[in-house]
Amino acid sequence: MTNTTSENKEVLLSIKGLCKHFELKSGLLNNKTNYLKAVDNLTLDIYKGECFGLVGESGCGKTTLGKMIAGLYKPTQGEIMFNGVNLGAITRNERRKYARDIQMIFQDPYSSLNPRMTVEEIISEPMVVNKTHHGPEISKRVEYLLECVGLAKQYKTRYPHEFSGGQRQRIGIARALAVSPRLIVCDEAVSALDVSIQAQILNLLDDLKSEFGLTYLFIAHGLAAVKHISDRIGVMYLGSLVEVAPKEAIYDNPMHPYTKSLISAIPIIDPNKRKDRILLKGDLPSPIDPPKGCRFNSRCFVENCQYKQESQILLPNGNHLVACKHVTEGGVVEH
């Protein structure tokens, strides 16, 4: 069963009202249980073949969302539909197949690769665990995957410490590709690398996307990092999305006050195009006790907004989805 949108784009991943609330251990004298709302009522569709860039400040819940999608965390509430199948309503055996379909690449390739295993063992592990390939075909596939990610097949006998950061990330990508996934969650996949190496890995990911018909959820801190690779961008704030739009629309016409502040933080070389940076007051509020009503209200610079006390959901506004009723009701956002 597949799901199709009005623009005839096929939805691969559909998330509705997703929450991950971590229970916090209380002290001996305190009986009250607190919850940290890492992801809170998040709704999102990702289309087949696209690269969806997800940005937001540290601690806003990006990795937690990625881990729920990849099946590493169980959602507290909400629904994850993959290719029309509700991942929360299937058996553990069926879930295994979807665990192959959705792979994750992490920020730090060194800590995500087992230092005691050779490259061949690292890349073949998912094939052995998932029983997707057998005997000599495993070794052949390892060589093929190494070539796909731009590494010589002779490297298969080496260990992770014998590689540079960029090469290690290529090994991580080869491992993610081993079981022919359909969706890859790239969690800050290039953030730890040198700028020139970042560009190489981004180009590699872009090439692999067309070659293997992949879909990406590409997570990064800032908008500058997702600019080149993404088709659409989602801006996350305190556990939920505040704006989703095609890449150009986010850069040329940001609508949510938070997105406007992120865009204003991107350095612009042309002095004629420079705009004043919007500095938000305060830090990201605690996800243990988020602001009531609009979750951005404690840092919002819109004066006299009449919706501060109302919780906001994503609403369509042109080709954007914006969680700000002030905007969707036609209000002006000026700094």
User: Which residue carries 């009522």 as its tokens?
Assistant: 41
Q: Which is nearer to ligand ATP, 205 or 225 (CB)?
A: 225
The residue within the footprint of ligand ATP, chosen from 38, 142, 223, 324 (CB under 6 A), is 38
Q: What is the dihedral of CA 240, 246, 250, 252, to 10 degrees?
A: -170
Q: Which is nearer to ligand ATP, 19 or 333 (CB)?
A: 19
Residues touching ligand ATP, count (CB under 6 A): 13
Q: Which does 221 bind (CB under 5 to 8 A by kind): Mg ion, ligand ATP, none?
A: ligand ATP
Q: Which does 2 bind (CB under 5 to 8 A by kind): Mg ion, ligand ATP, none?
A: none
Strand 3-4 to 10-24 pairing: antiparallel
Q: How many CA atoms lie within 13 A of 319 on its CB side?
A: 12
Amino acid at 205: L
State yes or no: residue 63 binds Mg ion (CB under 5 A). Answer: yes
The residue within the footprint of ligand ATP, chosen from 287, 312, 314, 321 (CB under 6 A), is 287
Q: Which contacts qualify for 124-131: CB closer than 8 Å, 24 or more apart?
A: 124/178, 125/175, 126/100, 126/175, 126/178, 126/179, 127/178, 127/179, 130/96, 130/99, 130/100, 130/179
Residue 73: alpha-carbon gap to chain centroid? 14
Residues touching Mg ion, count (CB under 5 A): 1
State yes or no: residue 112 binds Mg ion (CB under 5 A). Answer: no
Bridge partners of residue 222, in order along the sequence:
none
Shortest Å distance, C-beta 211 to Mg ion? 27
Q: Which does 172 bind (CB under 5 to 8 A by kind): ligand ATP, Mg ion, none?
A: none
Q: Which is nearer to ligand ATP, 63 or 298 (CB)?
A: 63
Residue 4: alpha-carbon gap to chain centroid? 22
Q: Which is nearer to Mg ion, 58 or 304 (CB)?
A: 58
Shortest Å distance, C-beta 36 to ligand ATP? 5
Span 267-286, contacts to ligand ATP by CB under 6 A: none
CB atoms within 10 A of CB 169: 31
Shortest Å distance, C-beta 13 to Mg ion? 19
Site string for ligand ATP, 49-88 (x = CB under 6 A): -------x-xxxxxxx------------------------
- Kindly give the residue spans of alpha helices, DSSP state H, lying in 193-330: 195-212, 223-226, 247-252, 257-264, 325-328
Which residues of the shown chain bind ligand ATP in the complex (CB under 6 A)? 22, 36, 38, 56, 58-64, 221, 287
